[in-house]
Amino acid sequence: MNTLAAPFPATAQSASKPSVVDCHGHYTTEPEALNVFRAAQIAALKDPSKKPSASGLKISDDQLRESVQPQLKFQRERGTDVTLFSPRAGGMGHHIGTAETSAEWSQVSNELIHRIATLHPDNFIGIGQLPQSPGVRPDNCIAELERCVKEYGFVAVNLNPDPSGGYWRDPPLTDRWWYPLYEKMVELDVPAMVHVSASANPNFHGTGAHYINGDTTAFMQFITSGLFRDFPTLRMVIPHGGGAAPYHWGRYRGLAQDMKKPPLDELLLKNVFFDTCVYHKPGIEVLFKVVPVDNILFASEMVGAVRGIDPLTGRYYDDTKFYIDALPLSEADRAKVFEGNARRVYRLDRTALYRRRG
């Protein structure tokens, strides 16, 4: 497949050595006080007397610094520089409670991400959690989206295609139900990572099935629609290597052809991007053989879905840089995957970090 030209304005690479940007990190090492708050919030759904006060949640800067030491350690050991950092994906829990529950939880979670990015500005850039709730129109998320971008300087949000947690009760991402949110994303010039939260359906293991189902479902929804005709500058990142999409690329090309759609590079690849959260070298090789390099962004999701060490390599499964380093890429393509594509898709040159580096 031919590598397509960059659909957005090119940005100059740093004069210094290019950074390694991990576009997919979650706050999975949060202080226990946050978990206690969330447990009380959920308990209050049955007994309002147990409702905690967000203003009463006290987490010090020192506690936040200590909580991200695992991420900082892995950054140093694995040779990555900056992580695009969002609240724990499985913890977003959009299926829990009401829109008000989700709004409060999102505000608390996003504030902590902002504080971490402020405490470690050279290591973390914020990504926001949206206050989605099943059956509630996505318009409801616009205020928090604006707050994250305008007040916190976040460069993207996580967008859950299935707020029901595995039951898929809301319209597909391509339905006009979502359009007001997309209009605001385009206005603010921020992308979304399409990322489900925890599975509430016992048929679907959260990280092993529900996550990959969500990625694959979103990709197929994009194929069947005219979404990017309506929003030609809208940018979506599909995590976990795109779910099943690269492995079954021929199927999706054939389905698009049968539906009289344009080729995938014309239909989707000016707007849809894939990360490298694929936890073995053969899977990474398939991703790079199938998807144009301009559409691949480095990511690891550390410390995340898979935390163990692979006995076949002696390395952590989520040490994805190790797999990419072994690929026969040109220096130009390697620079795109590790930094250039993230700079372009997430508009990183607008951040203080990249203004300093530039």
**What is the set of active-site residues?**
301
Backbone dihedral angles phi then psi of residue 249, each to the nearest 5 degrees: -55, -40
Query: Cα–Cα distance between 14 and 2 in angstroms, integer?
Result: 26
Q: At what angle do helices 99-119 and 32-43 cross, to 10 degrees?
A: 170
SS3 category, 149? helix
C-alpha pair distances (Å), 288 with each of 1, 58, 241, 344:
10, 45, 10, 19
Tokens 């020192």 correspond to 62
Q: Cis peptide before 196, with omega less than 30 degrees from 0?
A: no
Contact between 249 and 290 under an 8 Å Cβ cutoff? The reply is yes
> In 3D, which of 341, 218, 327 has the Cα closest to residue 275?
341
Contact between 165 and 200 under an 8 Å Cβ cutoff? The reply is yes
Q: What is the CA radius of gyration of the chain?
A: 19
Query: Cα–Cα distance between 206 and 76 in angstroms, integer?
Result: 29
Contact between 355 and 312 under an 8 Å Cβ cutoff? The reply is no
> In 3D, which of 256, 310, 262, 252 has the Cα closest to residue 284?
310
Q: What angle do CA 264, 305, 338 make, to 5 degrees?
A: 55
Structure tokens at 91: 């913890």
H helices, E strands: number in the chain? 15, 9
Buried/exposed code over 105-128 (b: 16+ C-beta within 10 A; e: otherwise): bbbbbbbbbbbbbeebeebbbbbb
